Amino acid sequence: MNLPPHQVQLTEDGRLKHFLTTEGLSKALLTEILDTADSFISTQERAVKKVPLLRGKTVVNLFFENSTRTRSTFELAAKRLSADILNLDISKSATSKGETLMDTLWNLEAMYSDMFVVRHADSGAAHFIAEHVTPNVAIINAGDGRHAHPTQAMLDMLTIRRHKDSIEGKVVAIVGDILHSRVARSQIHALRTLGAAEVRVIGPGTLLPNDIEALGAKPFYRMEDGLKDCDVVIMLRLQKERMQNALLPSEGEFFKLYGLTEQKLALAKPDAIVMHPGPINRGVEIESAVADGHQSVILNQVSYGIAVRMAVMAMAMSGQQQPTALSEEA
């Protein structure tokens, strides 16, 4: 009990049985996820898109926080793996009416599901669920508080790999609200493990966490310094409530300092790509000319998202079963 998340998610022989975080996973395993996702991209271009890897399995989308996009891509990924899928939106207010998270889980276990895809506002929630559900239920973290959003990070890795050939040696800048971003944390771990030359985080002091260097990222306060010679620029979404919490004066000032314009993008390498986990706030994080410009790969990210989610779902389900299950069924 209470192993760090990266140990909880592995079987004894080092395969994935849950997918909770990119932290602590080996380069080989992260590469396996990307390779598996790559193979699914080709199946997605076929007329018949389904593969039977999760046939007969029940996947529950357990969303304690609202999300249409992430939930939909998980749903699509599960369907294309031939699983049965149940969507449950359990807003935080429902559970705070007295039913604890444990009560909810016990109820769901009674339905004999095989996999929970979990989004929750508390950091560590997916890890908590992985430790407390019965064995043989795979947990996929679809975002827990500020902690991790590993499938988003892996689809970003796939995007970089497909557009820049490799992650090794690349300089990557992540811009905006790093403090509250589970995406940034998962990206930093994955980028470091996959051999990025430098991971930079750019934002005002109020939105950069203290000790971010301990994660292996280099903080910058100015775009002029941070974007210089970057291969990849990842913009993060800015939440409106940051203005109310005295973290930022206004969207306007944020855009002036950190909004990605063609002028600022010119500081990066000429062939740099621009990414964003979406949904984008045009005119806040990024100007339309850049979002829709030729360096932007934002829409590609979305389609890779389905392939990456299919990959981790298939791998984690296989990790819950006998060692050879994936290859036999495939």
Partner 1 sequence: MRYCVIEGARLLDPANQLDQVADIYIADGKIQAIGHKPSAGEIETTLDGRNKLLVPGLIDLGAHLAEPGFSQKGTIASETHAAARSGFTHICALPDTKPVTDSPAVVKLIQEKAAQAGYAQVLPLGAATQGLEGEQLANMFSLTEAGCPALSNARNPIKDSYVLQRVMEYAATYGIRLFLSANDIALSGGCMHAGPTATRMGLDGISEAAETIALSQILLLAEQTGVTLHISQISCGRSVQMLKQARDNGLNVSADVPLANLVYTDESVNGYNSHFNVLPPLRSEADRQVLLAAVNDGELAISSNHRPHEIAAKKAPFSDAEPGMSMFDCFLPLALKLVNSGELQWPALVRATSQIPAQVIGLQHTGLAEGNDFSAALINTNAQADWSQLSSKGRNIPCAGEPLKGAVSALFVNGAQVL
Whole-Å CA distances, 283 to 56, 236, 261, 278, 286: 46, 13, 9, 14, 5
Whole-Å CA distances, 328 to 80, 322, 323: 18, 10, 10
- In sequence order, what are the residues at sequence separation of 6 or more whose Cβ sits closer than 8 angstroms to the Cβ of residue 70? 119, 142, 143, 152
Are residues 301 and 157 in contact, defined by beta-carbon separation less than 8 angstroms? no
Query: Which listed residue (27, 132, 269, 282) binds partner 1 by CB under 8 A?
Result: 132
Task: Tell the smallest beta-carbon distance from residue 265 to partner 1 (Å).
Answer: 28
Are residues 145 and 120 in contact, defined by beta-carbon separation less than 8 angstroms? yes
Q: Is 246 in the site for partner 1 (CB under 8 A)?
A: no
Nearer to partner 1, 167 or 179 (CB): 179
Listed residue (78, 46, 75, 81) closest to 63, CA to CA: 75
H-type helices in 61-124, by residue range? 69-80, 92-95, 101-109
Task: Tell the smallest beta-carbon distance from residue 146 to partner 1 (Å).
Answer: 3
Nearer to partner 1, 183 or 227 (CB): 183
Query: Which listed residue (38, 124, 162, 300) binds partner 1 by CB under 8 A?
Result: 124
Task: Tell the smallest beta-carbon distance from residue 7 to partner 1 (Å).
Answer: 8
Please report which helix (H) or strand (E) contains residue 210, including its range.
none
Number of residues in contact with partner 1 under rule CB under 8 A: 31
Q: What's the maximum distance between 2 C-alpha atoms anywhere in the chain?
A: 57
Q: Is 47 in the site for partner 1 (CB under 8 A)?
A: no
Query: Which listed residue (9, 16, 23, 171) binds partner 1 by CB under 8 A?
Result: 23
Nearer to partner 1, 41 or 215 (CB): 215
Task: Tell the smallest beta-carbon distance from residue 104 to partner 1 (Å).
Answer: 11
Task: Tell the smallest beta-carbon distance from residue 216 to partner 1 (Å).
Answer: 10
Scanning 9-17, 28-36, 209-217, 306-314 for contacts with partner 1 by CB under 8 A, the matching segment is 209-217
Query: Which listed residue (89, 109, 122, 251) binds partner 1 by CB under 8 A?
Result: 122
Listed residue (10, 109, 9) closest to 58, CA to CA: 109
Task: Tell the smallest beta-carbon distance from residue 198 to partner 1 (Å).
Answer: 19
The tokens of 178 are what? Answer: 């790093």
Task: Tell the smallest beta-carbon distance from residue 64 to partner 1 (Å).
Answer: 10
What pairing do the DSSP bridges indicate for beta strands 138-144 and 171-175?
A: unpaired
Q: Is 4 in the site for partner 1 (CB under 8 A)?
A: yes
Specify the DSSP class assigned to residue 235.
Answer: E
Task: Tell the smallest beta-carbon distance from residue 210 to partner 1 (Å).
Answer: 6
Task: Tell the smallest beta-carbon distance from residue 101 to partner 1 (Å).
Answer: 6
Q: What does the per-residue mask of binding to partner 1 show for 174-193, with x meaning CB under 8 A? A: --------x--x--------
Q: Is 108 in the site for partner 1 (CB under 8 A)?
A: no
Q: Is 67 in the site for partner 1 (CB under 8 A)?
A: no
Query: Which listed residue (71, 120, 161, 170) binds partner 1 by CB under 8 A?
Result: 120
Q: Is the dihedral of CA 86, 87, 93, 96 positive or negative?
A: positive
Please report which helix (H) or strand (E) contains residue 59, including its range.
strand 58-63
Q: Is 293 in the site for partner 1 (CB under 8 A)?
A: no
Are residues 174 and 187 in contact, defined by beta-carbon separation less than 8 angstroms? yes
User: At residue 89, what is the residue type?
Assistant: D
Q: Which residues bind partner 1 (CB under 8 A)?
A: 1-5, 8, 23, 100-102, 120, 122-125, 127-128, 132, 144-148, 182, 185, 209-212, 214-215
